[in-house]
Amino acid sequence: MVAYANVSFDDHLIGYVGEPNGRGTFTIVWSCLAVLLLNTWTVLHLNIPHPKWRSWRIYMHKAKWAFVALLIPEGIMTVAFNQRRNAKSSIKYMKKYAPQWTLMHGFYSEMGGFKVRDESTETLYTFRAVQLHWLAENGIIGIPPISKKEIHDRSKASRVAKALACLQSAWFLLSSLARVVQHLPLTTFEVATIPFIGITWVTYYLWWDKPVDMETFTTIHLPSLPTEDLCRMAQDTCFSKASGSWYRPALKETSTRGWDFYWFEKSMDFRHLSIVRSNHLLPQELREMVKHSYAEARVCSWFLPAINEFQAAEWNNINDITLVLAGWFFNGLHLVAWHNVFPTEVESLLWKISVCLMLGYIALSGPCAMLLYWLPEGSFMKDLPIWCITVCYAVTRFYLIVEVFIGLRAVPPAVYRSVDWSQYIPNID
């Protein structure tokens, strides 16, 4: 339970310690939870929600993603990386039609900030930067001259909250470093919090220019947007990647046995335990053109009232590499607790096995995919290993989360010794 190599399982361990003048059990738990909760809540820069959602629904949506960020922070970081990459690339091709276009405009468009309304059918389309560029290039729309200041004013970004979260995290890292320097033990809860801070700081950087908690959007009015134009736009902007990566299971849109990694992005029919598809929203001609392709998943998003946080059909090798590296960093730092003292030897062994398994799942995903490459797309044997890896990864991650709490029932007394900060204050005679 504690990073303290000089303590063995046979040495005296103690349980709950009240709040004296120094460290107590509550101090340890609260310091870790405060870092996790505050960073998780302030790091989230979610897309513009459904226009008909009430405040409580928006709050619950953010709470859901905060829970996901606590469980899979490397996944949230990869989402932020993908959104920043898309927003940055939009600057190159949008400057011609919108000279005021900046990285913030790119984020604004990627989060559903621009909607096109077809007045003839009263349809409201949610287009992103690539589609907006196509419409502008073909002379169908003009990009509204919205300024960076206008977007920033609509955002509810709290720089004070972000600064407080970063300062709190910096103090936590400084205190942990001081304990290591003074040979004082760290609990596994503290060890597990350190990689979370690293991932969160990278996510802060990636989302720094993205508006926060924005609920309004800019509407571009059109007399008519014929289905023919939608088909041409789909052909030009959505078929650059007609199929998914060969090593990744197919989406529901492309295979009868496919599945969507990000099932929590879509509505669920809990009675039949299935994802509710949205292809029925497409006009018949457009639906026939994109059916059974990854383009269908992209085109369906045009007809939804809000942009999904994850764009599963658009992920490529760069996103996968980012996710692997982030996973190695986050899970690898848990190896710092390899020589920790746990309440029992069984818990110590389970911790080591869990960390190694999580790293192993990530390392073996590529070779496993290569072996499965020759199996037909959508076959049961091709999907089964991915399902097994996903379930096992979730189970091992869940164990580590549980262990950081239950392990506090028996720790070495030195855990509750405070750092002697006087060592770092110069003496002036």
Tens digits of per-residue pLDDT, 373-390?
666 655 667 667 767 777
Residues listed for the chain: 429
Encode 386-405: b = buried (16+ Cβ within 10 Å), e = exposed: beebeeebeebbebbeebbe
265 is written with which tokens?
């992005």
Angstrom distance (rounded) from CA 26 to CA 32? 10
In DSSP notation, 49-71 reads --TT--HHHHHHHHHHHHHHHHH
Radius of gyration in angstroms for the set of CA atoms belonging to the chain, rounded to a whole number:
25
Angstrom distance (rounded) from CA 350 to CA 362? 18
Of 173, 168, 186, 183, the C-alpha closest to 423 is 183
Asked if 132 contacts 141 with a C-beta cutoff of 8 angstroms, the reply is yes
Q: Which residues contact 161 (CB under 8 A, 6 or more apart)?
A: 38, 42
295 band by pLDDT with thresholds 50, 70 and 90:
confident
pLDDT at residue 133 greater than cutoff 90: yes
Query: For helices 317-332 and 73-94, what crossing angle results, to 10°?
Result: 150
Residue 316: the pLDDT is: 72
304 is written with which tokens?
């939804």
Backbone angles phi, psi at 74, to 5 degrees: -70, -30
Residue 274: the pLDDT is: 59
3-state SS string for 215-244: CCCEEEEECCCCHHHHHHHHHHHCCCCCCC
pLDDT at residue 244 greater than cutoff 60: no
Tens digits of per-residue pLDDT, 172-210?
999 999 999 988 989 999 999 999 999 999 999 999 999
- One-letter identity of residue 34: A
Angstrom distance (rounded) from CA 380 to CA 259? 12
Tens digits of per-residue pLDDT, 218-236?
999 999 888 898 998 988 8
pTM of the model: 0.84
Residue 275: the pLDDT is: 60
Mean pLDDT of the chain: 82
Query: 14: which DSSP letter?
Result: B
DSSP helix/strand/coil, 114: strand
Tens digits of per-residue pLDDT, 12-68?
788 888 877 778 888 999 999 999 999 999 999 999 998 888 889 899 989 988 988
The CA distances from residue 337 to 1, 71, 126, 331, 341, in Å, are: 8, 19, 47, 11, 9
Tens digits of per-residue pLDDT, 266-279?
555 556 555 666 77
